[in-house]
Structure 1
Amino acid sequence: MKKYIVTGAGQGIGHQIAQQLMDEGHVVLVNDIDASLLKGTYVKAGDVSSPAFIQELVAYSETLPGDLAGCVCNAGVTTFGSFWDYSPESMKSLLDLNIQGTFFLIQAVAKSIRKSGKAGSIVVTSSVTGHQAHPDLAAYGMTKAALNQLVQNLVIDLSPVQIRINAVSPGATMTERTEKDANYLKEWSRLTPLGKPADVQDIAEAVCFFLSDKSKHITGQTLIVDGGWTSVSPPPQS
């Protein structure tokens, strides 16, 4: 049994990751900004764009059974917008959560793992938009590309204390949010070489692989899970 923090776990990919880890017998502290979405034995609602809240979250995790073995930095915001009129307000919210929140969550979790003297594994949820251009996602894609580089760079700092760090970049995925778009499944089935978008379990399997000992000699890597989309990269029609 290991103990993990999963942020952005109220629904979608984050919820599936947390559920899979619990099914494997691990202690999981689930976080989301929306308290009404949280389910599990150990939950803590709050905004992980706030460094102060991150400290509270990790401190609470230390009171739970077991040593902290890692986290999944899954919380993030997607903001669509044309480059020509993208607003400073949108940019601030994007950077605060996707960049600042992820950076300081990794820092706090890594310090907790280092204090225990045990090995650990951290996974960051990135995106195919951090690898390939996508219409109206210049700002968002920029943050995800930055996270890919952060993961690579932190190998220098985390490897000496036996903490691995990797990223998973999902492509089109069926979640509660994307299912609201009546054309999403049809359009992304057309665009994806394997013939359909991912489901949340496809992404969770990749994340849990990186958290597990099956990947004990893998660090600093980003795994794209997109059914082959980045190989051909056709944009959606809308």
Structure 2
Amino acid sequence: MKKLEDLFNLKGKTALISGGAGYLGNEISYTLAELGATVILASRDFEKCKNKCIEIKERLGPHADAIPMELNLMNKDSISETFTEIEEKFGGLDILVNNAWSGKKNSFESISDQDWEYDIAMSLNSVFYCIKKALPGLKQKKGIILNITSMYGHVAPDYRIYDGIQFTNPPSYGAAKAGVIQFTKYLASFLSPYDIRVNCLSPGAFPHEITQQNQTFIDQLSAKNPMNRIGKPHEIKGAVALLCSDASSYMTGQHLCVDGGWSIW
């Protein structure tokens, strides 16, 4: 019988977190590092990733292993180069966390063709490209894929709580995240012969600090779920630990919501 501590143990594992130094990516990176994994923080902002890696090592001690890498998800060559380097250095990944996001706030009226295409490329197409490049190593190591999606990939934003476009969730974001949820289920089926597990985690609502400065909006957002509050970044750590470890060894193709109960109403 395996002990609980063994099921959550990631020592000897290598994990890449795209956007690993971001608002929620930071907590994902810390979670996997705390469980013993070598974590690769990858984004276009190499310096931000580098500084976060230094912070992880300082806080977790000499046994923590955090590595920064530059990864431009809007550039196929960059994706290819990053995963080739990982293959050469580590023999591939044990864990791939597709988390990164960037884009503009938009309503349906304000969104341009270019904004739509950018968001789909960033939030959906890049997930496909990264998994394709990571697949040889994941096959060899019988790895884990965790896609970070969103509550707005399975429920619609309530237009009544959005005033103008400053805080509005763009339609392209929800469409892309819905695509990732379905893609997760597809991959869970078709990669199961290789013992690769694929799940997704939908946070909501976890507004960034700048958004939290608008108390009226935050109050309205909080009232949308039974817990009547927004999420704190560390509150995704338990779900991440579960889905990226052997603690979830009989779970694949699942969509786990960490949303304060938002989606039950």
TM-score, normalized by length of structure 1?
Answer: 0.88
Alpha-carbon contact 2:138-2:144 (below 8 Å) kept: no
Name the CA distance, whole Å, in 1 between partners of 2:218 and 2:39: 31
- What are the within-5 Å matches in structure 2 for residues 77-226 of structure 1? 77-114=102-139, 117-134=140-157, 135=159, 136=168, 137-183=170-216, 185-226=218-259
Name the CA distance, whole Å, in 2 between partners of 1:62 and 1:199: 35
Name the CA distance, whole Å, in 2 between partners of 1:67 and 1:139: 32
DSSP 3-state at the match of 2:24: helix
Q: Which runs of 5+ in 1 are unaligned?
A: 233-238
Name the CA distance, whole Å, in 1 between partners of 2:79 and 2:216: 37
Name the CA distance, whole Å, in 1 between partners of 2:239 and 2:207: 16
Q: Following TM superposition, by how much is the alpha carbon of 1:186 offset from its aligned partner in structure 2, in angstroms? A: 3.3
2:76 maps to which residue?
51
Change (3 A) 1:156 1:220: same
Range 202-211 or range 98-107, more displaced: 202-211
- What are the within-5 Å matches in structure 2 for residues 12-27 of structure 1? 12-27=23-38
1:37 maps to which residue?
48
Quick one: percent identity of the two aligned structures?
A: 28
CA RMSD of aligned residues (A): 1.9
Q: Following TM superposition, by how much is the alpha carbon of 1:147 offset from its aligned partner in structure 2, in angstroms? A: 0.5
Range 88-97 or range 198-207, more displaced: 198-207
DSSP 3-state at the match of 1:42: strand
Change (3 A) 1:104 1:177: farther
Change (3 A) 1:190 1:50: same
Name the CA distance, whole Å, in 1 between partners of 2:110 and 2:22: 31
Q: Following TM superposition, by how much is the alpha carbon of 1:57 offset from its aligned partner in structure 2, in angstroms? A: 1.6
Alpha-carbon contact 1:174-1:199 (below 8 Å) kept: no
Q: Following TM superposition, by how much is the alpha carbon of 1:192 offset from its aligned partner in structure 2, in angstroms? A: 2.3
Once the two structures are superposed, what CA deviation does each residue of 1:13-50 show, in whole Å capped at 9, x if it has no partner? Answer: 11111111111111011012222321213111231132
Change (3 A) 1:60 1:181: farther
Alpha-carbon contact 1:70-1:109 (below 8 Å) kept: no
Name the CA distance, whole Å, in 2 between partners of 1:193 and 1:94: 30
TM-score, normalized by length of structure 2?
Answer: 0.80
Q: Following TM superposition, by how much is the alpha carbon of 1:154 offset from its aligned partner in structure 2, in angstroms? A: 1.0
- What are the within-5 Å matches in structure 2 for residues 220-235 of structure 1? 220-232=253-265
